[in-house]
Structure 1
């Protein structure tokens, strides 16, 4: 699937390509409201974004009469509505993708489900950059396990060592590390306090993710 390219770039979706972390926060806040539970931004950043186990954390903390996966299911339609009405691209996404697409095979690998992934790529007009994508239904174990990125490398028909992952969270960086793939961290307002020491490189924004930077990591 990589075609003429011998190297690949694997993008996370939420917080890297689309400005969605705040939308997730609002959706979960709405779901938890009937239970009288409020999640602080600090809790959300740590347990939902950095660790990826927010529903498990909040159910246990407040002894809620609902399973974590049920909480995720309740969140889904609320989040989809927010996606349809308020989602936007992160800064420099289109310019960066256009530059990289001339030299690398590109894909997206996300913990987001297929419905949300396909919708938002089309809605934002960037689906043309990604002939193959990896959604949550395509692999068994969620980040920080390596399954998402290993699946992405297989879909690109490239070995992991010929790919670079672009992530914004601790769990995403660790998924790349566990997959044996170099990782560039691009933090956003919700992930600035994540631990990025395992990343190969930390950038201030996608504007710094040039073809030369990616090529330098794959020498």
Structure 2
């Protein structure tokens, strides 16, 4: 695809796209879900990891298996365990700091569109002192339906006042790239959690890279 279109906003998923933490989430959810009787393999757990946690529980156990209060406690305890284990490894994916500064200098709007709850968004942005770079943050509590529904990215674009066709979404998940496609947006794939072939069925992918040091990303600024 032509990378030289007018890109006025960059919308970032967070987990696996800004920080390389998805394997930590997988192991944490694997333990939690199987302690509750899910009987999942690690790979099956990985395939369920998209959208809000509450939606994941509905997919695995069926709707209504746990009360809202029970789910809040389960999710909160899981997030606390993940944060404690991941804290020593909390850093941006290689090259992202410089990439964000370049985008800001170029006048490109920046937003985060994630299925993560606020507790995890603040954990990352406070820990890495990134709040000032992102005027728009759309998380799990801000949408009705999560990825692959495009609501999270369309909401972020609307708050930035940028048309969807002028947005590029950065994602590590096929469901996230599908959400971008359904919202009329192009996408850049970061291969921290999935292989390039996992995105072969999606025709909105501009480029697939390992991290933000890849020179292919320079074309997004042309």
Q: TM-score, normalised by structure 1?
A: 0.80
Distance of 1:167 and 1:209 partners within structure 2: 18
Map 1:196-215 → 2, pairs under 5 A: 196-198=200-202, 199-205=204-210, 206-208=212-214, 212-215=218-221
The question of 1:177 aligning with 2:181 is answered: yes
Equivalence for 1:13: 14
Distance of 1:214 and 1:68 partners within structure 2: 43
- Deviation string 1:170-195 (CA, Å, 9 cap, x unpaired) is 1100100011011111121x312633
Q: Summarize the Cα distance change of 1:105–1:83 in structure 2 as closer, same or farther, 3 Å threshold.
A: same
Equivalent position SS for 2:198? coil
Equivalence for 1:115: 119
Equivalence for 2:154: 150
- Deviation string 1:6-31 (CA, Å, 9 cap, x unpaired) is 81100000100012212221221232
Distance of 1:209 and 1:72 partners within structure 2: 42
Equivalence for 2:57: 55
* Unpaired segments ≥5 residues, structure 1: 1-5
- Deviation string 1:110-137 (CA, Å, 9 cap, x unpaired) is 0111222123111122222112211111
Q: Summarize the Cα distance change of 1:214–1:76 in structure 2 as closer, same or farther, 3 Å threshold.
A: farther
Aligned-pair distance for 1:157?
Answer: 1.0
Aligned-pair distance for 1:71?
Answer: 5.1
Distance of 2:167 and 2:94 partners within structure 1: 23
Q: TM-score, normalised by structure 2?
A: 0.79
Q: Summarize the Cα distance change of 1:129–1:8 in structure 2 as closer, same or farther, 3 Å threshold.
A: same
Aligned-pair distance for 1:84?
Answer: 4.5
- Deviation string 1:126-167 (CA, Å, 9 cap, x unpaired) is 222112211111121100001000000011111111111111
Distance of 1:142 and 1:47 partners within structure 2: 13
* Unpaired segments ≥5 residues, structure 2: 1-6
